Structure 1
């Protein structure tokens, strides 16, 4: 029926959304794990482009940041 097709579309959209969210969270966890590795090897908070310290404000906002604000602006 017409309504069952709508329900199928909704469940497909919901599955796609949930899949997207799972992938997004998995990627975020991976970035956080890399940040933990940088903490262990004492490179956390150091910009990989400039070698300068990344500001504490930036690290609070983006704990997995590998670029300082200046380097990030240049790369985007």
Structure 2
């Protein structure tokens, strides 16, 4: 019966050269890529702008329906 720790350590030992290469790389890969992230943030901002417009319209409609006291 092989322990999980033994299996994990064996896997690390087998991949040691790959791990060392990644640590020594000059420019590590980032996720998400910068271009995609800025697109995603712009899409979120556009969606939030749309929600604010809808909220303002709903508030104006409520104000019109609410009787003055």
**Cα distance between partner residues in 1 of 2:53 and 2:33:** 30
With normalisation by structure 1, the TM-score equals 0.46
Deviation at 1:40, TM superposition (A): 3.3
Superposition map of 1:1-76 within 5 A: 3-36=33-66, 39-40=67-68
Tell which has more relative contact order, 1 or 2 (C-alpha 8 A, sep 6+). 1
Q: Distance in 1 between matches of 2:57 and 2:68?
A: 20
Unaligned runs of 5+ in 2: 1-29
| Normalised TM-score (structure 2) | 0.50
| Dislocated runs of 4+, deviation >2 Å | none
CA RMSD of superposed structures (Å): 2.3
